[in-house]
Amino acid sequence: MTVIKPCSTIGILGGGQLGRMISIAGRNMGYRFITLDPTPNSPCGQVADLQITAPYSELKAVRNLADSSDVITYEFENVDSTITSILETTSFVPQGSELLKITQNRILEKSTLKSFHVPVAPFLVIQSENNIETAIDHFGLPYIMKTATGGYDGKGQWVIKSRDDITIAIEAWKKAGMDMIIEQFIPFSKEISVIVARNIHGQTKTFPVAENVHINNILHQSFVPARITDEQRIQAETTALKIADCLQIVGLIAIEMFLTNEGEIIVNELAPRPHNSGHYSMDACITSQFEQHIRAICGLPLGDTTLLSPIIMVNILGQHLSKVLDKIEQLPPTAKLHLYGKKESVENRKMGHINFLGATLEQIDKQIKDLGIWSYGNVD
Ligand code: AMP
């Protein structure tokens, strides 16, 4: 079985912050990095040995990436299948393209999870506008309409709260011209996530469960350890490991879940890569998710994921950056700032995050609130 040893070159499709953090972790281990991204000086390009600046659809550039790399990984899931097949024929792509296909499409993802007997929110695939009207009879109100492909951070999603919203939903469905699903609204008590690593030899390891808070559908904070019972934690980890094994993944898979008011776990979404809700691991675990991803795809033994300290990760969006910089001297000495090198600070764009470590989650939470950077109680 292939082991890609340090000093080899890792090619990353995509030059965003996830690629950047993979590269920083991998450079510490002695790997070299090449990234392909259409925007010059991308977050990953700034720290990689080389950036190939070209659109993902430029096959010559994709071949160039494959020819120059000992192993290829990707940092986003919407990779075109033409590209993955070129990469797979020319280079070593241990993550393969099957998982990408599944996670690119909610219908396939949910059907696959159902076939593994993993609980997901009841859903139906919209075939006609009649489905949108009669969904109330099946799912009650509110219900959620989601595009099958391309949605992220709440984009491509409509919450239908009343009969009046149905007309808007029908219009949106007609205009989108793509497959969509309707999903039952799950009144959850918490959103949690588990990241699992599986290497090419089949060894698996989970990261500690994160408890996630979203604002406007964008991840705002992750609290670790999640404030759930031992039984719920074991159930979340067991479900995550089952998914990783059933899908025979190589690399990382992030599994977002709802914890219902009845204490049941329902899987919402999969991401076949490092995930925002695992950024806490950079400062609070023996092995970060980024190092683990490299270990997994390179066939190295997986690292210890033990949590060393309670931690709250807080995202810095475009609207928060100047406030963070203004208060930089007031950050506690146990706060670890990570910025992604993005030039333009656009509203809701992920610019960085801060990992706040401390003795207890309550103490850290108070520290964050006292800083007054993020407004609570309001929509920021
Ligand atoms: P998604 O794009 O599926 O990850 O959804 C973004 C966010 O919308 C989730 O993190 C939840 O807060 C909310 N959400 C999505 N689907 C549901 C659902 N079926 N029931 C309740 N909330 C949901």
List, for residues 174-230, the tens digit of each pLDDT value. 888 889 999 999 999 999 999 999 999 999 999 999 999 999 999 999 999 999 999
Residue 219, exposed/middle/buried by CB under 10 A (0-12, 13-18, 19+)? buried
Task: Say whether pLDDT at 151 is over 90.
Answer: no
Tokens of 276: 């925002």
Residue 13 to residue 35: CA distance in whole angstroms: 6
Q: Whose CA is nearest to atom 7 of ligand 1?
A: 217
pTM of the model: 0.95
CA atoms of 193 and 352, how far apart (whole Å):
20
Could you give all domains of the chain from N- to C-terminal order, each with its CATH number?
A: 9-93 (3.40.50.20), 122-184 (3.30.1490.20), 188-371 (3.30.470.20)
Q: In angstroms, what CA-CA distances link 148 with 55, 80, 306?
A: 24, 15, 36
What number does the ligand 1 atom closest to the CA of 106 have? 3
Q: In terms of C-beta density within 10 A (0-12 exposed, 13-18 middle, 19 or more buried), how is residue 359 classed?
A: exposed
Tell how far the Cα of 189 is from the centroid of ligand 1, in angstroms. Answer: 13
The pLDDT score that the predictor gives to residue 81 is 80
- Judged against a pLDDT cut of 60, whether residue 103 lies above it is answered with yes
> What integer pLDDT is reported at residue 1 of this predicted model?
64
Q: pLDDT tier at 78 (50, 70, 90 boundaries)?
A: confident
Write down the pLDDT at residue 177: 85
Report how far ligand 1's centroid is from the alpha carbon of 268 (Å): 7
Q: Name the residue with tokens 């950024």.
A: 279
Greatest CA separation for the chain: 60
The CB density around residue 60, as the number of other CB atoms within 10 Å, is 9
Q: Over the stretch 114-123, which tens digit does the pLDDT of each residue have?
A: 999 999 999 9
Q: Whose CA is nearest to atom 10 of ligand 1?
A: 217
Please give the distance, rounded to the nearest whole angstrom, from the Cα atom of residue 91 to the centre of ligand 1.
36
- What's the CA gap between 223 and 310, in Å, rounded? 8
**Nearest 5°: phi and psi at 167?**
-60, -45
What is the tens place of the pLDDT at every residue in 23-32? 999 999 999 9
Does pLDDT of 377 surpass 90?
A: no
Ligand 1, CB within 6 Å, residue ranges = 121, 144, 151, 154, 157, 183, 185-186, 191, 214, 217, 256, 268-269
Question: Can you tell me the mean pLDDT for 269-284?
Answer: 98
The answer, yes or no, to whether residue 153 has pLDDT greater than 80, is no
Q: What is the DSSP letter of 56?
A: T
Say whether 62 sits in a helix, a strand or coil.
helix
pLDDT at 379 over 60: no
For the chain, state the CA radius of gyration.
21
